[in-house]
């Protein structure tokens, strides 16, 4: 990919994101009252993060076994409300351990 | 009179900067994994740091990275950003409603870049919100976010492959840590999470459907699932 192409991609991302943040602050000075729109916006982060996580997480490491081990570790710790950093590092550690074990076998 | 206003601005800015410190630390960690993922995909540390500085959005940047690596169109990239970052629209509406209407457009332009989940959360809790508070938080959090991507990008270029393989899962671990705790307490959120995962899996595993690019697949799943949930089960709470 050329540098110019990459820079254009980044500008498109940044521009779109900035416009979304800017328009209400700059133009509107009252709140959204529609319960449907409020609920829709409320659910978006959950739907989007879930869709980004699964099944992509299953191919996030070099080996399938490592990914699955990391996924299960993350689910168990996240359900127990561990902090973001703890969950992330424990998932990494699980992948690391399982992948080291595989190479030993 | 002017002195009083100046002191207020200074106090507000300092308070924002202080509240921004824990945010900056968390940002550094998440952005670090972004820099690493980007370098794995062949995007250099400078470019991931620039992306982080200009976009300041975690899910948006990770989804954008997928589209860029897949060579998607500018339209697809813009649409993924629009859908994934649509929540900022609501946050921006709430902040706008909290600001005194006497605050002119220029400070609002500068404040808008700082509308993220975390900075919004601390800003909206202020009794009297001024742009100076949000700017104080941004002054600490934005360098944390940008620096994380830079360091992650540099390490991504020098660390051995087996370590990078282990780090690739970090961002998904964080996403799970964000969505699963509220899902455990609210069945509607749980249903949204499970439905979104199932639908995304169907889209990536079914013949023909799996040809849909990842960016569009995320858009389709997000709009469908969040839309149906909003119809079936309107949510009364403030979005977080």
Residue-wise pLDDT for B38-79, tens only, equals: 998 999 999 999 999 999 998 899 999 999 999 999 999 999
Please report the pLDDT score of residue B223 as a whole number: 92
**At what angle are helices B86-98 and A35-53 packed, to 10 degrees?**
140
One domain for residues A49 and A90: yes
- Counting the structural domains of chain A, the total is 2
Q: What span, in angstroms and rounded, lies between the C-alpha atoms of B211 and B232? A: 30
B119: pLDDT strictly greater than 50 = yes
> What average pLDDT does the structure give for chain A?
91
Q: Do A43 and B178 touch (CB under 8 A)?
A: no
Residue of A nearest to B53 (CA): A14
One domain for residues A18 and A51: no
Q: How many CA atoms within 13 Å lie on the side-chain side of B128?
A: 7
One domain for residues A21 and A52: no
State pLDDT tens for residues B147-157: 999 999 999 99
One domain for residues A97 and A65: yes
Residue of A nearest to B93 (CA): A24
To the nearest whole angstrom, how far is the Cα of B110 from the nearest Cα of chain A? 9
> Looking at residues B122-146, what average pLDDT do you find?
92
Please report the pLDDT score of residue B1 as a whole number: 46
- To probe the interface with A, which of B80, B177, B200, B221 has the most A CB atoms within 10 Å? B177
B139: pLDDT strictly greater than 60 = yes
For residue A79, tell me if it sits in a domain: yes
Q: Is A58 on the interface with B (CB under 8 A)?
A: no
One domain for residues A16 and A56: no
Tell which B residues from 1 to 60 touch A, by Cβ distance under 8 Å: 26, 29-30, 33, 42-43, 47, 50-51, 54-57, 59-60
For residue A36, tell me if it sits in a domain: no
One domain for residues A47 and A91: yes
Residue of A nearest to B61 (CA): A13
A34 versus A9: which is more confidently predicted? Answer: A9
Please report the pLDDT score of residue B212 as a whole number: 87
> What average pLDDT does the structure give for chain B?
90
Full DSSP string of chain B? -HHHHHHHHHHHHHHHHHHHHHHHHHHHHHHHHHHHHHHHTT--HHHHHHHHHHH--HHHHHHHHHHHHTT--HHHHHHHHHHHTHHHHHHHHHHHHHS-TTS-HHHHHHHHTT--HHHHHHHHT-SS--HHHHHHHHHHHHHHHHHHHHHHHHHHHHS-HHHHHHHTTHHHHHHHHHHHHHHHH-HHHHHHHHHHHHHHHHHHHSTTGGGS-HHHHHHHHHHHHHHHHHHHS---SPP-
**At what angle are helices B2-40 and B45-55 packed, to 10 degrees?**
140
Contacts of B183 in chain A (CB under 8 A): 46
State which of B24-28, B103-107, B172-176, B230-234 shows the largest mean pLDDT: B230-234
State pLDDT tens for residues B186-237: 999 999 999 999 999 999 999 999 888 887 888 899 999 999 999 999 986 5
Q: Do A46 and B184 touch (CB under 8 A)?
A: no
Q: Is A5 on the interface with B (CB under 8 A)?
A: no
Please report the pLDDT score of residue B126 as a whole number: 84
A33: pLDDT strictly greater than 50 = yes
Please report the pLDDT score of residue A90 as a whole number: 95
Distances (CA, A) of A67 to A11, A61, A74, B131, B229: 33, 5, 10, 43, 30
One domain for residues A66 and A93: yes
B2 versus B100: which is more confidently predicted? Answer: B100
Token pair of B71 as six digits: 């060579």
A71: pLDDT strictly greater than 50 = yes
One domain for residues A23 and A49: no
Q: What percentage of chain B carries pLDDT values higher than 70?
A: 95
One domain for residues A51 and A21: no
Q: What b/e string do you get for B196-211 counting C-beta neighbours within 10 Å, with b at 16 or more?
A: bbbbbbebbeeeeeee
- Domain with A53 in it: 41-104
For residue A35, tell me if it sits in a domain: no
Q: Is B88 on the interface with A (CB under 8 A)?
A: yes
Residue of A nearest to B88 (CA): A21
> What residues contact residue A94 under an 8 Å CB cut-off, 6+ apart?
A66, A69, A70, A72, A73
Please report the pLDDT score of residue B239 as a whole number: 44
SS percent in chain A: helix, strand, coil, step 5: 80, 0, 20
Position B127 confidence tier, pLDDT thresholds 50, 70, 90: confident
Look up residue A58 and give its DSSP letter: G
Q: Do A9 and B229 touch (CB under 8 A)?
A: no
B2: pLDDT strictly greater than 60 = no
Q: Is A61 on the interface with B (CB under 8 A)?
A: yes
Q: What span, in angstroms and rounded, lies between the C-alpha atoms of B150 and B152? A: 6
Measure CA of the first residue to CA of the last residue in chain A; give whole Å: 39
Q: Is A102 on the interface with B (CB under 8 A)?
A: no
Contact criterion met (CB below 8 Å) for B135 and B111 = yes
Q: What percentage of chain B carries pLDDT values higher than 90?
A: 61
Please report the pLDDT score of residue B52 as a whole number: 97
Q: What span, in angstroms and rounded, lies between the C-alpha atoms of B178 and B181? A: 7
Position B175 confidence tier, pLDDT thresholds 50, 70, 90: confident
B165 versus A9: which is more confidently predicted? Answer: A9
């Amino acid at each position: 990919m050329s540098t110019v192409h990459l820079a254009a991609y980044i500008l498109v991302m940044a521009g779109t994101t900035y416009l979304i943040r800017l328009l209400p602050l700059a133009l509107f000075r009252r709140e959204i009252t529609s319960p449907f729109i409020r609920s829709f916006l409320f659910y978006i982060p959950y739907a989007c993060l879930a869709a980004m996580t699964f099944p992509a997480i299953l191919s996030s490491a070099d080996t399938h076994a490592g990914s699955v081990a990391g996924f299960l570790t993350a689910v168990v710790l996240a359900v127990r409300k561990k902090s973001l950093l703890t969950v992330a590092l424990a998932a990494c550690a699980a992948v690391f351990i399982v992948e080291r074990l595989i190479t030993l076998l | 009179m002017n002195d009083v206003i100046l002191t207020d601005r200074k106090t507000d800015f300092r308070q924002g900067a202080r509240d921004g410190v824990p945010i900056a630390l968390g940002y550094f960690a998440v952005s670090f994994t972004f820099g690493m993922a980007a370098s794995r995909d062949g995007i250099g540390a400078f470019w991931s740091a620039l992306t982080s500085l200009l976009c300041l959005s975690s899910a948006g940047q990770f989804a954008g990275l997928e589209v860029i690596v897949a060579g998607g169109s500018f339209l697809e990239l813009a649409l993924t950003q629009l859908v994934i970052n649509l929540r900022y629209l609501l946050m921006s509406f709430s902040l706008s409603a909290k600001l005194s209407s006497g605050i002119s457009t220029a400070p609002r332009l500068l404040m808008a870049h700082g509308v993220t989940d975390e900075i919004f959360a601390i800003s909206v809790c202020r009794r009297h919100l001024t742009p100076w508070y949000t700017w104080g938080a941004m002054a600490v959090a934005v360098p944390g976010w940008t620096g994380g991507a830079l360091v992650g990008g540099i390490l991504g270029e020098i660390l051995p492959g087996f370590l990078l393989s282990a780090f690739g899962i970090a961002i998904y671990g964080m996403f799970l840590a964000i969505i699963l705790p509220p899902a455990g307490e609210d069945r509607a959120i749980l249903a949204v999470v499970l439905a979104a995962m199932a639908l995304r899996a169907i889209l990536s595993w079914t013949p023909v459907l799996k040809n849909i690019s990842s960016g569009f697949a995320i858009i389709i799943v997000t709009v469908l699932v969040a839309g149906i949930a909003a119809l079936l089960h309107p949510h009364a709470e403030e979005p977080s």
